């Protein structure tokens, strides 16, 4: 059993939790993920490690309420326990030797971008962070990104905060200004990462993306996280989740991801109804 030692609401649909998991915190690195179960009857879901504190022995997860399990998870409070919390899984992000990097985060994917930006910044790299959200109410981790970057650029679709526009607009402007990045790291919705890669490909800038599709067992056995990279089949849970963005077949990945939307919506609605009955 793994104790929830901190719970914080970041925006109406996104929450942060610190979990007491000293053995995972001891080995965790940016880019890796955990798999958890809320209770004995719960499904296994993957969540990328958003941060960790080796001294306190805690691992931070940030999740968006989109389905049955994340709805159930959001109902837990500080002092409650998770049934399972397994990790760290996946290959850690490769950051050695990087001197100047642009880290691009979109929506809740910014939570995954944060630990990478933090590590690069602590290594002494020049880190430009670009984060994008639909509107001001959905912004998360602003102060944390400011502390983990050389420069931070906030973008919103409606212009309600920061600069109006897409993260790709800000990224292309920075490249045109003469910023020569060793690497661009993009993490967010598949469509966002696809268009980031289209921009960077024009300027021949190496780009790494974090692929976080449906994962079930975390070992590659189930095939749920299968994707095509450079014409070859890869499994995000064991080969990634980081891949060369210019080689990822995003159209295939988006098609596979859309297969689960109706199921998630149905499971979420069932969970909401169950919670409402419990309150009566």
> Does an H or E element contain 82, and which?
strand 81-82
CA dihedral (270, 271, 275, 280) in degrees, to 10, reads 10
pLDDT in tens, 61-91: 999 998 888 999 999 999 999 999 999 998 8
- Tokens at residue 216, please? 């079930």
- Tokens at residue 137, please? 């109410």
pLDDT in tens, 45-64: 889 899 999 999 999 999 99
CA pair distance 130, 152, nearest whole angstrom: 6
CA pair distance 13, 61, nearest whole angstrom: 14
pLDDT in tens, 229-257: 999 999 887 888 899 999 999 898 888 77
β-strands 100-106, 126-133: how paired?
Answer: parallel
- Tokens at residue 230, please? 């450079």
CA pair distance 259, 22, nearest whole angstrom: 36
Q: Which residues contact 248 (CB under 8 A, 6 or more apart)?
A: 193, 197, 209, 211, 227, 228, 229
Indicate the pTM of the whole model.
0.85
Residues in the chain: 280
- Tokens at residue 188, please? 């967010």
Q: What does pLDDT average to over the chain?
A: 88
DSSP class of residue 221 equals S
CA pair distance 206, 200, nearest whole angstrom: 7
Domains recognised in the chain with CATH numbers: 2-89 (2.40.30.10), 100-258 (3.40.50.80)
Instruction: Report whether pLDDT(29) > 50.
Output: yes
Confirm if 105 and 132 have CB atoms less than 8 A apart.
Answer: yes
Instruction: Report whether pLDDT(275) > 70.
Output: no
Spatial CA neighbour of 150 closest among 194, 181, 172: 181
């Amino acid at each position: 059993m793994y104790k929830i030692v901190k719970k914080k609401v970041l925006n109406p649909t996104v929450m942060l939790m610190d979990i007491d998991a000293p053995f995972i915190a001891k080995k965790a690195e940016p880019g890796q993920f955990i798999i958890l179960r809320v209770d004995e009857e719960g499904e296994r879901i993957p969540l990328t490690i958003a941060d960790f504190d080796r001294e306190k022995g805690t691992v931070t997860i940030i999740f968006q309420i989109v389905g049955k399990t994340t709805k159930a998870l959001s109902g837990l409070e500080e002092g409650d326990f998770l049934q399972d919390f397994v990790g760290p899984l996946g290959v850690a992000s490769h950051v050695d030797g990087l001197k100047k990097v642009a880290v691009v985060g979109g929506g809740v994917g910014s939570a995954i971008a944060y630990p990478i930006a933090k590590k690069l910044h602590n290594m002494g790299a020049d880190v430009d962070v670009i984060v994008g959200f639909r509107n001001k109410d959905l912004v998360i981790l602003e102060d944390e990104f400011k502390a983990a970057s050389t420069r931070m650029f906030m973008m919103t679709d409606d212009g309600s905060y920061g600069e109006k526009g897409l993260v790709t607009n800000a990224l292309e402007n920075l490249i045109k200004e003469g910023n020569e990045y060793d690497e661009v790291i993009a993490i967010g919705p598949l469509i966002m990462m696809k268009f980031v890669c289209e921009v960077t490909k024009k300027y021949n800038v190496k780009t790494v993306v974090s692929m976080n599709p449906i994962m079930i067992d975390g070992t590659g056995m189930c095939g749920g996280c299968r994707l095509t990279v450079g014409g070859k089949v890869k499994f995000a849970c064991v080969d990634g989740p980081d891949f060369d963005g210019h080689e990822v077949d995003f159209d295939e990945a988006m098609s596979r991801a859309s297969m689960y939307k109706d199921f998630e919506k149905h499971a979420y609605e069932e969970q909401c109804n169950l919670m409402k009955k419990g309150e009566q």
